[in-house]
Structure 1
């Protein structure tokens, strides 16, 4: 067993894009041996990889599906115009297409699909696919919003079905106000104002022809695609209503769907088997013609939320690659296995606590007759009880002795902007230490009697989060808060956005997926994709409007500092620590594993993996 330590944190210095986290490199543009038709596949090879949260949606661009557990699968199954390499530089996959800025004023971007860009059912990928994503993510056509009851059920389903509702919201895509234009195999997007992160604003996602076939009842894929383009460009509400419903709902599945159309992909792999809560299998797409062919014939992702369970599975040969949420016990157990490679690192995920402000709970102004100030003081009181230093000392420093409390909502520690933004926010000063007396004083001041019950959402199968919950519960009880686990409706990741009435605060991690400076917008803007809590501050919205067009790093730092100051003043929540990471794998089964500092982490560069002799032996047994 060989243990190495990689300082991944430095490579995620400016990362901001976030997805729900359950938990030496190439340039990312190299091709495997052979060209087209997945010529780089090692025939009859298989690999098993453990992951902590099951897949539940193939539409990772929707509000419901925006989670790392989903996007690691779509990363291997679908092609994109751009990806990151190990140095976090954007690299184009020209075998899928090219993206070019053709004008600065107004900002104009042209996407051109390559001849080798192909869906696995034989239909060419093309401009309609990106037009659909613009329609979905821009919010341009939405004319209704779902209304939920206390159990997370939609109460206005008839209105939603009759109207147009795409389950998505992207402030950056909303800047493309004009309907994009299509010419041959290209589509041109014109922004209404300059945008700093245009390169990561929009990319390919679902097959437009299948969305149209399902929504409009047109069998021929070419005719279906033409009808979809017409519905969008001519703004036909009746057709758009059906298209939006299919886009939002049909690709949400937790086991293998009967309809194979839902399994059509544009990349090296396709889903061929999926047993709920157990495993998902990807098999090499024989029709793939791009430059990133599958290295293994088959990849099976096996789901296990127990970090020690993953270690045991690796030791038993049930899986070959793991990256469990790290604890001291996990590291010790891995050190005892002499047949594996182990690497430790700091990840692009940070732990935090956010609070519900619109669910009728203890942090909602409605609970106090609409008194927003009183609700804010109760939130402040709760935040004063969260033992951030103790959590880091007890749970993180045994893995990373240099670990410190993170004091920024948008910046990774040691990044160029971190110190300035953390200081401007005041989070470190406001919540440097647990302040039980201060919390009690605030509750007394607003006349709130104790105990105040707080339902805390977290992954109950995650050892470190369970330990964190116990530390928070014990500390908060001293001030008069009764912190209890939330009531599970489906699973914690889905409930985070869809069952908000069942929890008052959430303990989880946001995982960085990009280096775009504007992407915290999705977490804190009113009604934004990742803002599940009813938080709204017009000043924050205006600052994000300003950030979208700002390219000067000094001004970007100032704007984000002001955003974070509002978050602290509004008692939005609190950050705790940057995740320590562990990767372990069996070198006889897989090599050239390169863990990216942001999502997709251990799945990065899957086309450059090498299969060992044992991988071939297992696959042919």
Structure 2
């Protein structure tokens, strides 16, 4: 699916492109950088620019998962696996090992490295796994003001964590035994407890005033867990100029040293890291909200990973740098509210019918030689390079082209004389602004007025709060890099029990099918459930998939070990291996 082409990151989109396989580009980049002169002194600091905000250390909350935290902290908060350039999860044995225990019920034994320790000197332990499970399993709920049971933890992900029956852990131990519910042998269990998912449980417990986090969780002590959740939800917020190092211990090759708008988010080598030392002492992240354009002009940015055309400036990586455009695993889509103007499914169908998906692909998409991406993405559940994709994509035929008359008919069927749709997104973003403008132009004749509600403080939770009617974002509401090969996060964001389902969509049969896909072991089962689910989803239209997002990834000349990763991990997936020779 991943494909590439040289291109300026802010150049206007041309018509459909022919590009080459990303694997070939990665190999070429690795070979080229390895050939750089080793006699030159390596630089001690590398700048890395992304097209997202970094507002929290916790990449597992709804807004945290949509932020740049998964991109930035994979080598600060590692786990038992990481997302490789292929989009698949690869085991990270520096952190520990995970092995299936024979038996009728899926049981996995996790063993942390005996040397695993946080940068504040506190050892990593199974307490960290228990906290992750408690937060994402959905087992701790309370009724809200309307009486609806709501998760105490503002967790974005659900997936396989909800299938875990228990985590056997002796507080402080290096071992945990994770036991799944009978009949729930999740095929993607290796994606659990991965990079950025293991948060320092000792910090959460201390700040919540809970002496025994494991006991509180396993003993269902709701009062104690509520206090833990309150900290977990907001306690790891990151604001430039207000950094308290004590709250942010690292378990990876890097730790945070400082965070300011003027000097970026600075990562430095973690002195307590037990694996191979990072090749470069300092990585400076330049997210939205920092003076990245100034840093670029000063020559302080050496790696860039952004959606093509999303930034208002052209990152300058130096003479001889090459920018690579990659068709990523990130699904650009519209997520619709199921309340307000879109409460009636007919209204959502009306909007989907006037969105010019084919035109948006022609202007903002890219086609690849591997045949995976040839037009607008028409499945929410399977990637275009899956051999089963064509079966699921057939149900989207009605929405292949904008149909003004059909859209008007569905709008009238919804009982609305006119509709106003506010589309929110993280800005400023020239690319997404243009997408909204084209949608507005196409929908106007159908009696649907579109309002651009993008802002530089936008978060996905604004859709859940009713401040906008639709969200323009990537996979599982990601504002920047996103997506994996298994599409677990994309599927999870359509489940009624998942935090990233910010549109509030709920359908019992779709939940059953999504749960079935987690344990499906053969293609026939996957295809059958995915096709049925897509039929329902294209009738109820909680989301409108648009295209596989092209991303521009660039490495400065002389940067060794820079390898394109067109997934949620982004180019920084292996930043501890980067070396830049001047």
Q: TM-score, structure 2 length as denominator? A: 0.85
Instruction: Say which of 293, 298, 305 aligns to 1:323.
Output: 305
1:199-248 CA distance string (max 9 Å, x none): 1123451111111111117xxxxxx4xx2222222222222221121222
Corresponding pairs, count: 544
Instruction: Say which of 419, 422, 431 aligns to 1:455.
Output: 422
Asked if 2 retains the 8 angstrom alpha-carbon contact of 1:129 and 1:207, the reply is yes
Asked if 1 retains the 8 angstrom alpha-carbon contact of 2:158 and 2:497, the reply is no
Distance 1:276 1:294 in 2: 25
1:396 aligns with 2:365: yes
Shift in alpha-carbon separation, 1:445–1:287, aligned structure 2, 3 A: closer
Asked if 2 retains the 8 angstrom alpha-carbon contact of 1:8 and 1:347, the reply is no
Q: Which residue of 2 aligns with 1:177?
A: 165
Asked if 1 retains the 8 angstrom alpha-carbon contact of 2:312 and 2:428, the reply is no
Gaps of 5+ in 2: 8-18, 31-40, 476-480
Asked if 2 retains the 8 angstrom alpha-carbon contact of 1:487 and 1:502, the reply is no
Gaps of 5+ in 1: 12-23, 28-41, 148-155, 218-223, 365-374, 615-621
Q: Secondary structure at the match of 1:559?
A: helix
Instruction: Say which of 363, 385, 398 aligns to 1:430.
Output: 398
Pairwise CA RMSD of aligned residues? 3.5
Q: Which residue of 1 aligns with 2:204?
A: 211
Q: Which residue of 2 aligns with 1:501?
A: 466
Q: Which residue of 1 aligns with 2:141?
A: 142
Q: Which residue of 2 aligns with 1:197?
A: 188
Instruction: Say which of 348, 366, 378 aligns to 2:329.
Output: 348
Q: Secondary structure at the match of 1:524?
A: coil
Q: Secondary structure at the match of 1:66?
A: helix
Instruction: Say which of 409, 413, 419 aligns to 2:380.
Output: 409
Distance 1:111 1:399 in 2: 39
1:301 aligns with 2:278: no
How many Å apart are 1:513 and its aligned residue?
Answer: 4.3
Q: Which residue of 1 aligns with 2:124?
A: 125
Instruction: Say which of 482, 485, 502 aligns to 1:515.
Output: 485
Q: Secondary structure at the match of 1:546?
A: helix
Distance 1:417 1:301 in 2: 39
Q: Secondary structure at the match of 2:511?
A: helix
How many Å apart are 1:140 and its aligned residue?
Answer: 1.8
Q: TM-score, structure 1 length as denominator? A: 0.80
How many Å apart are 1:48 and its aligned residue?
Answer: 0.9
User: Where do 1:146-165 residues align within 5 Å?
Assistant: 165=152
Q: Secondary structure at the match of 2:166?
A: coil
How many Å apart are 1:363 and its aligned residue?
Answer: 0.9
Q: Which residue of 2 aligns with 1:270?
A: 255
How many Å apart are 1:487 and its aligned residue?
Answer: 7.1
1:332-353 CA distance string (max 9 Å, x none): x799974312223211112111
1:251 aligns with 2:236: yes
Instruction: Say which of 355, 373, 389 aligns to 1:418.
Output: 389
How many Å apart are 1:536 and its aligned residue?
Answer: 0.8
Q: Which residue of 1 aligns with 2:338?
A: 357
Asked if 1 retains the 8 angstrom alpha-carbon contact of 2:495 and 2:514, the reply is yes
Asked if 2 retains the 8 angstrom alpha-carbon contact of 1:295 and 1:608, the reply is yes
Distance 1:347 1:9 in 2: 12
Bigger mean CA deviation after superposition, 437-446 or 105-114: 437-446
How many Å apart are 1:579 and its aligned residue?
Answer: 1.5
Instruction: Say which of 527, 534, 537 aligns to 1:557.
Output: 527
Q: Which residue of 2 aligns with 1:45?
A: 44
Shift in alpha-carbon separation, 1:61–1:26, aligned structure 2, 3 A: farther
Shift in alpha-carbon separation, 1:66–1:234, aligned structure 2, 3 A: same
Distance 1:117 1:85 in 2: 22
Distance 2:510 2:114 in 1: 43
Asked if 2 retains the 8 angstrom alpha-carbon contact of 1:46 and 1:299, the reply is yes
